[in-house]
Amino acid sequence: MGKLQLIIALAMAAFSMFSYFGSTSVNPVTGEKQRVAGISPRQEVQMGLQAAREMAAQMGGLTSNPQARELVARVGARLAQTPIAQKSGYPFRFHVLADTRTINAFALPGGQIFITMALLTRLETEGQLAGVLGHEIGHVVARHSAERIAKAQFQQGLTGAFAIGTGSMDAAQISNMVGQMLMLKYSREDEYEADDLGVRVMAEANYDPRAMVGVMRILERASGGGGRIPEWASTHPDVANRILRLEKILRERYPQGVPRGATP
């Protein structure tokens, strides 16, 4: 029985590794090779559409505020017409959640993007709203959701193989915990990449990319200074570190200063 368990465990582990490492595609926007477990952009769009209504319901529904809806739709449409967004081929849609307590914005696979009223009402300029939405567009065009799904499937396969091979659920739980800690690194890298892509999208839409730094300062104030949760234990990078990285990106990309005339 022990040998059979080991054979099954090794087969499961081998299949998980082949499925993950053997399935790559080149992102048309970033040019990077990605492991997305055979998930196509069309499937991402379908997943996002299916999840959008449920996600909205879980967070109190969409706002009935017509000014908020119009503002987000207008800024979102301007960003969605940029070369980066158009090259991705995703049908972007922008939604405002009625939630007035949770400061948040997020993107579902395939282009469904949400922002809460709690965050929207804290933003000071149209450019800052473009920064938030541009960041979420960055997640979509970089296919971060597809990458996370692939990584989660890989982790689950290895955890199952470990549990069968050792015959111990405790050992499997430890393995799963280690896998989750490793996933945090990827999440932080995703956030940094989305910040970078968001700045590019903003600039292409003629918004002042410095407004993204303003967004981070608002988030920093909302989190009580940004230092309560150590970066290594968080799925998002420390806000202060994101500000430093954004300022570095702006210096390198605009050594002569940000072009004038952009919407602040």
- Over residues 73-100, the pLDDT tens digits come to 999 999 999 999 999 999 999 999 999 9
Report pLDDT for 261. 81
Tally of domains in the chain = 1
- In whole numbers, what is the pLDDT of the chain averaged over residues? 83
In this predicted structure, which of 4-13, 64-73, 90-99, 185-194 has the lowest mean pLDDT? 4-13
Residue 64, domain extent: 2-253
Cα 262 to Cα 188: distance, rounded to the nearest angstrom: 29
Report pLDDT for 127. 97
Examine residue 261 and state whether it is found in any structural domain, yes or no: no
Examine residue 168 and state whether it is found in any structural domain, yes or no: yes
Report pLDDT for 226. 42
pLDDT band at 139 (very low <50, low <70, confident <90, very high): very high
Examine residue 262 and state whether it is found in any structural domain, yes or no: no
Report pLDDT for 222. 84
Report pLDDT for 24. 79
Marked catalytic residue, from 44, 136, 191, 193:
136
Examine residue 106 and state whether it is found in any structural domain, yes or no: yes
Chain segment 145-167, per-residue pLDDT in tens: 888 877 776 666 666 656 666 66
Examine residue 57 and state whether it is found in any structural domain, yes or no: yes
Cα 96 to Cα 105: distance, rounded to the nearest angstrom: 9
In this predicted structure, which of 93-107, 123-137, 146-160, 214-228 has the lowest mean pLDDT? 146-160
Examine residue 143 and state whether it is found in any structural domain, yes or no: yes
pTM: 0.82
Nearest to 116 by CA among 130, 102, 133, 128: 102
Examine residue 203 and state whether it is found in any structural domain, yes or no: yes
Whether 136 is catalytic: yes
Examine residue 45 and state whether it is found in any structural domain, yes or no: yes
Report pLDDT for 262. 85
End-to-end Cα, the chain, rounded Å: 68
- Measured in degrees and rounded to the nearest 5, phi and psi for residue 113 equal -120, 135
Report pLDDT for 182. 46
Report pLDDT for 257. 82
